[in-house]
Structure 1
Amino acid sequence: MVNKKSLTNYVRRMTSALMNAGVKSVVISPGSRSTPLAYAFASTKSLNVYMQVDERSAGFFALGLAKASGEPVVLLCTSGTAASNYFPAVTEAHYARIPLIVITADRPHELREVGAPQAIDQIQLYGNHVKYSVDLPLAEDNTDVDDFIVRHVQRAASVALTAPYGPIHLNVPFREPLLIDFEMDIPTSTFIQRMKGNDLLDTSIIHFVNDILNKTEKGLLVIGELPIGINTKLFWNFAKALNWPVLCDPLSNLRAKVPTNCMDLCIDNYDALLKSNRFKEKAIPDTVIRLGAQPVSKPLSLFLKNVRPNTVVLIDESPEFRDPLGIVTHHIQSSIEAFLQIDVQKEDSAYVKTWVQANDEASVVLENSSGSDEGAYTQMLLSNLPDKSDLISGSSMPIRDVDTFFDKTEKDITIFANRGTNGIDGVVSTALGIQAARQRPSWLLIGDLSFLHDVNGLIVSRFHETDLTIVIMNNDGGGIFSYLPQAESGNHFERLFGTPTGLTFEHIAAMYDAQYSSIESIEEFEQELAQDKKKNIRIIEVFTNRKENVIAHRTLWNEITKRIDSIE
């Protein structure tokens, strides 16, 4: 049996160490074995504590908080399979480089592997999907253990916050009784501060980059998903001086708040442009510089993989640099901000004009397009997003439509998606977490199957206020599969890939007291977007047809191809 004073001292020290490492928010899944830490967190006034009773949804809610804030977020659960349900979010956090601090309460050592209830092997539970994992000691009246706890928690948090960011796992055993002393103050710690040095590029790297730039006549700057809070002013100063076409993935968040003098360089229609064989011949680059993750666009990926530019420079802070196409020739391991401080200067070129002119022509086609397919609905949603708002996109067809239809803008709009592993699970919870972190009006664009995967995520709206509008593209199944070759065969396609459920969501909206509307036409959608949001959760269910969506998308792409192919 552990005494209350020792247990309280233990969890208070852990709480203090986490806060000292920068933790401001904690997501708790209720359970018995985690009681001491849950009480310690809940009774700490300077912490934001969120509750979510479904562990899988809790994991993605915490991921959304951390993704949007750029700060470490604690995720706490009891022992047993509760911890297993965090695995999908931990996996996404690993590949998306998000600093989650996962704390799993555990049985004491004498109750492990003896058939005790709610006990599983939690040691190294998340394997290589976390950057750091430790099984902490039990609470006891021992100053050496006190110091060990503080320094180990700080060390673990430092690992989570060292580039590349990622999740870490603390497994914490507790003996009963599990109650703590609420009146006890947070103990003082001998550990005071962690300091992080600034990244600076040495002169050899700067000379190398300038040498490449001097030799390059046709250069592309490709920008994938970037961490939140990137210095956009620094970026656009660099891009303007470099004077190369900038292919901005929507998740780079560089299509928003674009400076007026950089609008031409921001290429937002490259996905459509690179469906034209004639344009691709003109667009072959000598050099590509990529910042961030590989962009969403499949045409861009296929283009770069096929032409294999002579020089592909990747800026990635991790030694495990991301190169899914296998074309990177040079990896500069540094922060993006350090690279952007290189002094560059390039003159205007015919190659830049080729990209800018084609991009402008594609914009004309998109601006004059009409229809009632999912692309048209997405285009209308994006054009009506208010300034200072956020959009969270589903990972399948929604993010591809966002890539196609999100025009560069001077408005302050931030776009998020779970592209670490591109899963369709946990998207609702991630969106709710992002809204909680950002405290801005948020919109979620999601398909019906992805929404079904995380209906439980809405539970969090019963515990915390939110401001989320959910636009569900209900095409009764997996719409993205209709664009793949297996859709042409017809054999078992609907059963294996289309997977129609016949479900609609008005009853889900009623269950969660959400504002609801059913949309059958583009005119109804336009009218609905003009209506005021009256409740915490608003669900707009848009009914579309998968086959018609495919025809409409391909017709639009063909129109863009014809227009840019006519350019002399």
Structure 2
Amino acid sequence: MTASTELATWLVDQLVERGMTDAVLCPGSRNAPLSFALLADERVRLHTRIDERTAAFLALGLAKGSRRPVAVVTTSGTATANLHPAVLEAAHAGVPLVAVTADRPARLRGTGANQTTDQVRLFGDAASFADLVVPSPDALAAAWLPGGPIHLNCQLDDPLTPEPDSPERTDPSDRRVEGPITRDYPWWRDPDDDEVDVLALGPRTVVVAGDDSGPPARTLAEQANWPLLAEPSSGSRTGKNPIRTYRLLLGTDLGARVERVVVFGHPTLSRPVMRLLARKDVEVVSVRAQGRWPDRPSPVTSEHVAVRADADDPAWLEEWREADRSLGRRIDAFVAEQPGLTPYDVAAVVNAANPPGGLLFVGASNPIRDLDLMATAHPVGQRRMVLANRGLAGIDGTISSAIGATLGRPRSTRAIAYVGDVTFLHDTTALVIGPDEPRPDLTIVVANDDGGSIFATLEQGAPEHASSYDKLFGTPHGVDLAALCAATRTPHWRVTDRAELEHALASPNGGIEVVEAVIRRDNRRELDGAIRALAD
């Protein structure tokens, strides 16, 4: 067995023993030993992609959907740099993405050898790191840190293919796994009793559930009779405590009367929530989040591993619930009155189409904010998985992540991806999938308003910037999505009203399909302003 084959085979064994069941491979010469080792291991479901950025986000989605570590394997040079966006997302969201990069031997570093660059700690402190020359349990164990990405840089020397008629695998009895083993990574672990702190009752309190907060946020809100301000990807927007219209209600008298906020996860969607956390008259209780999040935007009064509370006076919760029901009815009536398909219609229909046990992957910018406003909470026993790349909240690799998350879940699960047109176009290589590759049953809903309408809702969309808006922010593209889908043989439907969209989502055909929901962009700012006015 060659030295490179031995290192590659050993490393695949170690990754499998640590819980890896899927790996994503990008073709290359230097990483050929890793490629052969992955293909030879029947314990690994191997996915091949031609674009490293797409591959990395596919691996990220697989890790989020399966809750297991997933490797993305590349050759040397620029291939490694294309993993950086997904590594950063994984670092901030606490996802165990394993970047396995092939490298030249150390003697060729700095010599100008073809396709070489300095790959040592290429991702900085965003990933733990090991530079592997030979099988080294100690080096791997030191790099295998929980709660984020791992970069394993493999120095692979010639020959890069297995020797003829030589065994390509070590005997399973020779495997020796060192260090912590992560076969499943739960987003929410059960804390030890001595880690749970009891919160005093009395202050008017709301529970804010950001991305990946999980059931603990809902549990606390229900224990204490507190309003739950839960983002769609929090994993806690179920039961009777979530306040659907919380972003608008925070600007009313109810929001002004908040005295304490208990924060789970990482809230990213709402400026009103950020302003609430920054208020000097509000006590902020932080429950430690997964991943490498920055400090809260206000001084944290106290930080905890886990918290609980006894039942508080339910009158405060009832005020929020009554205001929420009333405002929700006004919003729904306003949306129903609008001619044509609106982005709020799309969000409501997508939310209704996600069945119990289903998976919804939501893109950044307007789609997740529209879903936040329009999605009503489901009963506790009918949980859906709602995922999003909220670590850095970029549009990179969203379709790839959605495909990966769906592949990481059971085949019987209904899966929907809900994205904007710019997000879709940013990751069209996600649809470039070989004929023998695993394909999920995934309906991709694209809210197409021909450009970046998120900026219309921000200060950049103010009337005084109208002359420069499209060039700098709106960026209309005029792409024919049907033709784009045809190039990759992806089924495509174009809908222009709510009934057509409901019909398209009611009967998925299987495999990957795209439903293009055509909406307007020119009235986005006015629609948002009218909805905000309903809370006054």
Same fold (TM over 0.5): yes
| Correspondences of 1:211-226 after superposition (within 5 Å) | 212-214=199-201, 216-226=202-212
Shift in CA distance, 533/350, structure 1 to aligned 2, threshold 3 Å: closer
Shift in CA distance, 195/63, structure 1 to aligned 2, threshold 3 Å: closer
Does residue 1:356 correspond to 2:321, yes or no?
Answer: yes
| Correspondences of 1:415-426 after superposition (within 5 Å) | 415-426=386-397
TM-score, normalization by structure 2: 0.90
| Correspondences of 1:119-268 after superposition (within 5 Å) | 119-130=116-127, 132-137=128-133, 139=134, 146=135, 149-157=136-144, 159=145, 161=146, 165-180=147-162, 181-186=166-171, 188-191=174-177, 194=180, 199-200=191-192, 202=194, 209-210=197-198, 212-214=199-201, 216-226=202-212, 230=214, 232=215, 236-256=218-238, 258=239, 263=240, 265-268=241-244
The 8 Å contact of residues 294 and 322 in structure 1, kept in 2 or not, is answered as no
Partners of 1:470 and 1:540 in 2: CA distance: 6
Q: In structure 1, what is the equivalent of residue 82 of structure 2? A: 85
Does residue 1:311 correspond to 2:296, yes or no?
Answer: no
1:525 to 496, 501, 509: 501
Query: What is the CA distance between 1:381 and its match in structure 2?
Result: 2.1
Partners of 1:294 and 1:505 in 2: CA distance: 32
| Correspondences of 1:48-63 after superposition (within 5 Å) | 48-63=45-60
Does residue 1:480 correspond to 2:454, yes or no?
Answer: yes
Q: What is the CA deviation profile of residues 186-222 of structure 1, one whole-angstrom value per residue up to 9, with x for unaligned ones?
A: 45134467479985354xx75xx44x514x3311111
The 8 Å contact of residues 60 and 427 in structure 1, kept in 2 or not, is answered as yes
Partners of 1:86 and 1:123 in 2: CA distance: 14
Partners of 2:385 and 2:80 in 1: CA distance: 31
Does residue 1:396 correspond to 2:396, yes or no?
Answer: no
The 8 Å contact of residues 451 and 472 in structure 1, kept in 2 or not, is answered as yes
Shift in CA distance, 292/317, structure 1 to aligned 2, threshold 3 Å: closer
Query: What is the CA distance between 1:515 and its match in structure 2?
Result: 1.6
In structure 2, the gaps of 5 or more residues are: 183-188
The 8 Å contact of residues 102 and 168 in structure 1, kept in 2 or not, is answered as yes
Q: In structure 1, what is the equivalent of residue 415 of structure 2? A: 442
The 8 Å contact of residues 80 and 119 in structure 1, kept in 2 or not, is answered as yes
Q: In structure 2, what is the equivalent of residue 373 of structure 1? A: 342
Partners of 2:312 and 2:52 in 1: CA distance: 54
The 8 Å contact of residues 360 and 386 in structure 2, kept in 1 or not, is answered as yes
Partners of 1:442 and 1:304 in 2: CA distance: 34
Structure 2: which amino acid aligns with 1:521? D
The 8 Å contact of residues 443 and 469 in structure 1, kept in 2 or not, is answered as yes
Structure 1: which amino acid aligns with 2:130? V
> Please, what is the CA RMSD of the aligned residues?
2.3
Task: Determine helix, strand or coil for the equivalent of 2:433.
Answer: helix
Structure 2: which amino acid aligns with 1:118? Q
Higher mean Cα deviation, 53-62 or 432-441?
432-441
Q: Between Structure 1 and Structure 2, how many residues are aligned? A: 515
Query: What is the CA distance between 1:250 and its match in structure 2?
Result: 1.0
Does residue 1:23 correspond to 2:20, yes or no?
Answer: yes
Partners of 2:364 and 2:38 in 1: CA distance: 33
Query: What is the CA distance between 1:431 and its match in structure 2?
Result: 0.7
1:298 to 271, 277, 295: 271
In structure 1, the gaps of 5 or more residues are: 140-145, 563-568
The 8 Å contact of residues 18 and 154 in structure 1, kept in 2 or not, is answered as no
Task: Determine helix, strand or coil for the equivalent of 1:492.
Answer: helix
Structure 1: which amino acid aligns with 2:367? P
Query: What is the CA distance between 1:327 and its match in structure 2?
Result: 3.3
Q: In structure 1, what is the equivalent of residue 186 of structure 2? A: none
Does residue 1:286 correspond to 2:259, yes or no?
Answer: yes
Q: In structure 2, what is the equivalent of residue 406 of structure 1? A: 375
Shift in CA distance, 240/486, structure 1 to aligned 2, threshold 3 Å: closer
Query: What is the CA distance between 1:52 and its match in structure 2?
Result: 1.1
Task: Determine helix, strand or coil for the equivalent of 2:483.
Answer: helix
Structure 2: which amino acid aligns with 1:409? H
Sequence identity percentage? 29
The 8 Å contact of residues 321 and 331 in structure 1, kept in 2 or not, is answered as no
The 8 Å contact of residues 141 and 178 in structure 2, kept in 1 or not, is answered as no
Task: Determine helix, strand or coil for the equivalent of 2:432.
Answer: helix
The 8 Å contact of residues 13 and 150 in structure 1, kept in 2 or not, is answered as no
